[in-house]
Amino acid sequence: MITKPKGCHDIYGIEAKKWNYVSRLIDEVCSRYNYNFIRTPIFESSEVYHRGVGETSDIVTKETYDFVDRGDRNMTLRPEGTAGVVRSYIENKMYGDATQPTKLYYNGTMYRYERPQSGRDRELTQFGVEVLGSDDPMIDAEVISLAVNIYKLVGLKQIKVNINSLGDKESRDNYRKALVEYFTPYINDMCDDCKNRLEKNPLRILDCKVDAGTEIMNNAPKILDYLNEESKERFEKVQKYLSLLDVDFCVNPSIVRGLDYYDHTVFEVEADIKDFGAQNVIGAGGRYNGLVKQLDGPDTPGMGFASGLGRLMLAIEKEGIELPIDDSVDCFVMYVSETEKDYATTLVQELRMNGFKVDTEYTGRGLKGQFKQADRLNSKFLLILNDEDLKDNLIQVKNNKTKQEEKVELDYLMYYLDEQLSQEDECDCGCGCDCGDDDCCCDGDCHCGDNCHCHDED
């Protein structure tokens, strides 16, 4: 039997509906912040990632899927979103648009050749935002706020934001020298990756997972002690704006992030969830003021973040959050005879084109089997066709919850269903009333369930 590749997943059924729900929520939040969707190729010239992400990063040195195509070109499957977005920004001359800064978001598939584990796959879906064309610290705070609000809106409660500053080039150069001087006497006691990073990019040593928590690592110099006055002032403004946006945060000097293009603000968002694992970071990002120029574009500041959708879905599951998934159809059209089937074909199409979620019978079941299928699909209403009724321009409609039935004129069917479904949306208690009315038959005692807001004060 042919099976899926290691580190990949099939997402279908109710799980796919949950993914789609969260994706739509991401769309909505980004729209509120006036970020526009961008779709970039799943594979790009290897140069985009090797130059953009950085030759010393783990993604490039260990995890990229590189291949040579039939035109003898070096190509790479997309391992992260930022470099491709920046390439598109340059190639399409978005920097020339009058509406600066350019605010973009993406939600797509990435590929990394790493050891599969819970929440970390070789094929992953990642969403994120990029802001190009503004160096204002307020943008840094806005991006962090956007990420936090997505996590809160899906229902995560214990969100922790850790922020740090890597400073400008002068600050990082001074810090780099201090790290080399500090780590050199200890380097033989550290992992092979740290040994390779000492000269190439010593800041990456601080992101090591092998030596994390050791006395050597805990006593390493802190970047905040090497920030020049300009970088310190900038970082203080980021913190001020975060406070104004009511975003709780902690300054954590150990955060450096794993990609080479970051400068100034970097941040990670953690979810404090039982059994979620030690690696509880669900989103991260930072500022990358040199990346556009590094990829042959104009000198343009940038800021962004990324989050693994699969890891977010795992966090939702671990916290026991019930997403409001509508796993139902509005109507199920039932028939027996061939003429009824012909009419069903037309009716189903007409209902769908008018905005109703509709299904019908396709496997030759009898009426008994169709009733069972309608129940499996959680159909709110049954539309039962009958040749004699059709001659009289009628159709039998059954409320599958209350079991009430009535015959409705076909010309009036759309209006009838729209009215009945509107009542269903207002109240799921089965009384068919408007729960907010003073003369509500529920008498203030609604049994709609946890998701009902019939009696909210507003």
| 434 has a pLDDT exceeding 60 | no
CA dist list (Å): 426 to 275, 323, 434, 442: 37, 19, 6, 13
pLDDT of residue 447: 38
What percent of the chain is helix, strand and coil (3-state, nearest 5)? 40, 20, 40
Residue that is last in its domain, among 289, 318, 347 = 318
190 within a domain of the structure (yes/no): no
| 428 has a pLDDT exceeding 60 | no
The Cα 333–Cα 280 span in angstroms is 47
pLDDT of residue 446: 44
Residue that is last in its domain, among 361, 378, 405 = 405
First vs last C-alpha separation in the chain: 57
User: Does 243 share its domain with 383?
Assistant: no
| 451 has a pLDDT exceeding 80 | no
**At 259, is the pLDDT very low, low, confident or very high (cuts 50, 70, 90)?**
low
User: Does 67 share its domain with 117?
Assistant: yes
β-sheet bridge partners, residue 123: 111
223 within a domain of the structure (yes/no): no
CA dist list (Å): 352 to 255, 332, 346: 51, 12, 10
35 within a domain of the structure (yes/no): yes
User: Does 260 share its domain with 393?
Assistant: no
pLDDT of residue 12: 94
Mean predicted confidence (pLDDT) in 405-415? 96
User: Does 236 share its domain with 363?
Assistant: no
User: Does 309 share its domain with 344?
Assistant: no
User: Does 136 share its domain with 35?
Assistant: yes
157 within a domain of the structure (yes/no): yes
pTM higher than 0.75, yes or no? yes
pLDDT of residue 209: 72
User: Does 396 share its domain with 275?
Assistant: no
Mean pLDDT estimate for the chain: 88
Mean predicted confidence (pLDDT) in 401-423? 94
pLDDT of residue 349: 97
Mean predicted confidence (pLDDT) in 344-348? 97
211 within a domain of the structure (yes/no): no
| 382 has a pLDDT exceeding 60 | yes
| 452 has a pLDDT exceeding 50 | no
User: Does 278 share its domain with 240?
Assistant: yes
**At 61, is the pLDDT very low, low, confident or very high (cuts 50, 70, 90)?**
low
pLDDT of residue 72: 95
C-alpha 343 chain-centroid distance = 42
The Cα 121–Cα 6 span in angstroms is 8
- Structure-block tokens of residue 16: 């796919």
For position 344, which CATH number holds? Answer: 3.40.50.800
| 308 has a pLDDT exceeding 80 | yes
Mean predicted confidence (pLDDT) in 97-124? 89
Q: What is the span of the domain harbouring residue 95?
A: 13-168+228-318
175 within a domain of the structure (yes/no): no
| 57 has a pLDDT exceeding 90 | no
User: Does 20 share its domain with 63?
Assistant: yes
Residue that is last in its domain, among 318, 346, 364 = 318
Mean predicted confidence (pLDDT) in 432-452? 43
**At 260, is the pLDDT very low, low, confident or very high (cuts 50, 70, 90)?**
low
pLDDT tens digits along 185-197: 888 878 877 888 8
Q: How many CB atoms lie within 10 A of CB 268?
A: 21
| 256 has a pLDDT exceeding 90 | no
414 within a domain of the structure (yes/no): no
pLDDT tens digits along 140-162: 999 999 999 999 999 998 899 99
User: Does 276 share its domain with 392?
Assistant: no
Q: How many CB atoms lie within 10 A of CB 432?
A: 15
Burial of 368 (0-12, 13-18, 19+ CB in 10 A): exposed
| 454 has a pLDDT exceeding 70 | no
pLDDT of residue 366: 95
Mean predicted confidence (pLDDT) in 130-142? 97
- Structure-block tokens of residue 198: 């000492």
pLDDT tens digits along 198-228: 877 788 787 777 777 788 888 888 889 999 9
Mean predicted confidence (pLDDT) in 117-129? 86
Q: 453 or 379, which is more confident?
A: 379
Q: Does the N-terminal peptide bond of residue 116 adopt cis geometry, omega within 30 degrees of 0?
A: no
> Using a CB cutoff of 8 Å and minimum separation of 24, what contacts does 179-185 make?
179/203, 179/205, 179/206, 179/220, 179/221, 182/220, 182/221, 183/216, 183/220
Percent of the chain at pLDDT > 90 equals: 67
pLDDT of residue 393: 96
pLDDT of residue 207: 74
413 within a domain of the structure (yes/no): no
Q: What is the tally of structural domains in the chain?
A: 2
User: Does 25 share its domain with 161?
Assistant: yes
User: Does 76 share its domain with 143?
Assistant: yes
For position 256, which CATH number holds? Answer: 3.30.930.10
pLDDT of residue 426: 61
pLDDT of residue 288: 93
| 52 has a pLDDT exceeding 70 | no
| 458 has a pLDDT exceeding 70 | no
